[in-house]
Chain A
Amino acid sequence: MEGLLNAIVLITNFAVVPGLAYGSQLALGALGVTLTFAVLRFSNFAHGETMSFGAMVAIFVTWGLQAYGVSIDPLPTALLALPAAIIVTVLFVLGTDRLIYRFYRDKRSDQVVFIIVSIGVMFVMAGLIRFIIGPNDQIFTDGARFLISARDFRDMTGLDEGLAIKTTQVITLATAAVCVLLLFWFLQKTRTGKSMRAYADNEDLATLSGIDAGRVVVIAWALSAALATIAGTLYGLDKSYKPFVFQELLLPIFAAAIVGGLGSPIGAIVGGYLIAFAEVFLTYAYKRFLGHILPDSWMPDGLAQLLATEYKFAVAFVILVITLLIRPTGLFNRRST
């Protein structure tokens, strides 16, 4: 019995909790991708850089606040910096729309043109970010590190295995939950939110009904930039901030959005957690886990790992390919494309 409990605690500590946090970050990123796709009808390859940009602004604001001794200990100062970072990022993204994307929208350019344009934006943003903050690691987490440390947990329960819950993990989950609730309230209950869904559903009919396309586009960009900032900052808090990481995150984020169904917010969330848990559980070494529940003679020799950690991106990719082959509209898309 205690063996089973230990096994459950172990896997919760090393797979479930990190998976939840990572899934939340992916879900927020995928929501941004899915919203821009729903309204603007293209996959935004610059979205990873938007996350990076938002996180970068949050870091600068955090440093500023720290310099003035502002703190909300035990919570990280970065939370306080988020609103300002969101505003700056939203303004920047709206600027790119004004300057760049709007031209092609008015021309009703092909989706591929938008993708290539977003590559250009990606280059510019990537350069600016590396130019401003530099290409290296930045750590900006402060406040209490753990909500429960492994030792406390062991002392409390008397089990062999500890369960450590980092503050950043709890904050990630809580923030993601709040964001998702707010977003769904906005989309389902407000007139503006409904008009955005209507526009995503049927552009021409929405225009006929007097829905202002320009306004819907602005809101979609703003929401996607805000979500990107939050996702990027949470990811940076949870791990660390490295500009190039966000390029790598693009693939699992796209995978999450596509698995759920591009354009479907619920799909993006489910997709985010699905990809995260698939990555975590397939690359988790089950040796110690099995040690708690199996008799010694049954123990496997190796780490009992299904896939080397280095290949975790392959998991996202394989899920993506299977989705594209079997159900290209994703899990939650009622619209036939």
Chain B
Amino acid sequence: MSFLKAEAMRGGYGNDDILQGCTVEADKGEIAVIVGPNGAGKSTAMKAVFGMLSLREGRVLLGDTDVTRMKPTERVRHGMSFVPQVRNVFPTLTVEENLEMGGFIREDDIKGTMDEVYALFPILAEKRRQPAGELSGGQRQQVAVGRALMTKPTVLMLDEPTAGVSPIVMDELFDRIIEIARTGIAILMVEQNAKQALEIATHGYVLQHGQNAYTDTGEALLANPEVRRTFLGG
């Protein structure tokens, strides 16, 4: 059984269910990627897993703990961490202060974790005294991911981390995400750039109309002609 397991999720805003019983999983050290057309409920699924949307049916398990009824902040304490798609840094705070705020709930010394983040993203160490709002788009994404890592999460969730960055920066970010997964963190991410994302994915989930359309390894999904034709544009 996977470490993070969100089963048969059903729910949405108001009366209409956007999620119609979809399931996503991610195990430690793995990268699970959710792809699918616009309006398929990718981001909604992500929010549901993190507790920003209450479910009518289904449950979210983190290891042996049922976190379905927990608020997002409680889930953070239980080892989940989330990088929103937009507004994911504190713009007037310096890079270092952003990281510090990321570790706000920790009681112990966060210096070591901060050094690890700087080791992962060396450019941030260089710009530690600069306000995050003054950085380039790609660097800001790095701050956002770094901030999320400060709680030493077991599950890292990324909502379209490469939205609006150049292809070179995207490759760079994906490399970092692979590195993060190798440290034993479970990664769940939603991606618009489906092809590239599935290339690095251990598992891929193709969502459609709030349901799982295809579920397989990233490689297998990329090889599946049906998936290629319908979702990856040939």
Q: Which of B73, B89, B131, B133 contacts A210 (CB 8 A)?
A: B73
Contact present for A202 and B76 (CB under 8 Å): no
Q: Which of A191, A194, A204 contacts B93 (CB 8 A)?
A: A194
Within 8 A of A (CB), among B42-86: 72-73, 76-77, 82, 84
Smallest CB-CB separation from A203: which chain B residue?
A: B87
Taking CB atoms, residues of chain B closer than 8 Å to A194 are 93, 97, 100-101
Q: Which of A191, A197, A201, A208 contacts B72 (CB 8 A)?
A: A208
Does B102 have its Cβ within 8 Å of any Cβ on chain A?
yes
Contact indicator per residue, chain A 41-71, by CB within 8 Å of chain B (1) or not (0): 0000000000000000000000000000000
Contact indicator per residue, chain A 204-233, by CB within 8 Å of chain B (1) or not (0): 111111110000000000000000000000
Contact present for B104 and A202 (CB under 8 Å): no
When A194-B93, A202-B90 are in contact, do A210 and B76 touch as well, CB less than 8 Å? yes
Query: Looking at chain A, what size class is its interface with the partner chain?
Result: 10 to 19
Contact present for B84 and A205 (CB under 8 Å): yes
Distance (whole angstroms) from the CB of B95 to the closest CB of chain A = 13
Contact present for A202 and B87 (CB under 8 Å): yes
* Docked pose: A3 CA to B91 CA in angstroms: 52
Does B193 have its Cβ within 8 Å of any Cβ on chain A?
no
Tell me if A's interface is mostly helix, strand, loop or mixed.
helix
Does B147 have its Cβ within 8 Å of any Cβ on chain A?
yes
Contact present for B91 and A335 (CB under 8 Å): yes
Contact present for B73 and A205 (CB under 8 Å): no
Does B88 have its Cβ within 8 Å of any Cβ on chain A?
yes
Does B105 have its Cβ within 8 Å of any Cβ on chain A?
yes
* Docked pose: A334 CA to B92 CA in angstroms: 7
* Docked pose: A35 CA to B77 CA in angstroms: 29
- How many chain B residues touch A (CB < 8 A): the figure is 23
Distance (whole angstroms) from the CB of B4 to the closest CB of chain A = 18
Taking CB atoms, residues of chain A closer than 8 Å to B101 are 194-195, 198, 206, 209, 211
Taking CB atoms, residues of chain B closer than 8 Å to A210 are 73, 76-77, 104-105
Taking CB atoms, residues of chain A closer than 8 Å to B84 are 204-205, 208
Distance (whole angstroms) from the CB of A188 to the closest CB of chain B = 9
Taking CB atoms, residues of chain B closer than 8 Å to A201 are 90-93
Which of B84, B90, B102 has the most A CB atoms < 10 Å from its CB?
Answer: B90
Taking CB atoms, residues of chain A closer than 8 Å to B76 are 208-210
Contact present for A335 and B105 (CB under 8 Å): no
Taking CB atoms, residues of chain A closer than 8 Å to B147 are 209
Distance (whole angstroms) from the CB of A166 to the closest CB of chain B = 38
* Docked pose: A205 CA to B76 CA in angstroms: 12
Distance (whole angstroms) from the CB of B147 to the closest CB of chain A = 7
Contact present for B88 and A205 (CB under 8 Å): yes
Smallest CB-CB separation from B102: which chain A residue?
A: A209
Smallest CB-CB separation from B132: which chain A residue?
A: A201
Smallest CB-CB separation from A204: which chain B residue?
A: B87
Taking CB atoms, residues of chain A closer than 8 Å to B77 are 210
Contact indicator per residue, chain A 166-204, by CB within 8 Å of chain B (1) or not (0): 000000000000000000000000010011011011101
Contact indicator per residue, chain A 74-92, by CB within 8 Å of chain B (1) or not (0): 0000000000000000000
Taking CB atoms, residues of chain B closer than 8 Å to A209 are 76, 101-102, 104-105, 147
Distance (whole angstroms) from the CB of A204 to the closest CB of chain B = 7
Contact present for B133 and A205 (CB under 8 Å): no
Contact indicator per residue, chain A 258-270, by CB within 8 Å of chain B (1) or not (0): 0000000000000
Contact present for A205 and B104 (CB under 8 Å): no
Using CB atoms and an 8 Å cutoff, list the residues of chain A in contact with chain B: 191, 194-195, 197-198, 200-202, 204-211, 334-335
Extra contacts besides A197-B97, A209-B104, A209-B147 (7): CB < 8 Å:
A198-B101, A202-B91, A204-B87, A207-B73, A208-B73, A210-B104, A334-B133
Would you mind naming 21 contact pairs between A and B with Cβ atoms under 8 Å apart? A194-B93, A195-B104, A197-B97, A198-B93, A198-B101, A198-B104, A202-B91, A205-B84, A205-B87, A207-B73, A208-B72, A208-B76, A208-B82, A208-B84, A209-B76, A209-B104, A210-B76, A210-B104, A334-B91, A334-B134, A335-B92
Q: Which 6 A-B pairs have the closest CB atoms?
A: A210-B105, A201-B90, A198-B101, A198-B90, A209-B104, A210-B104
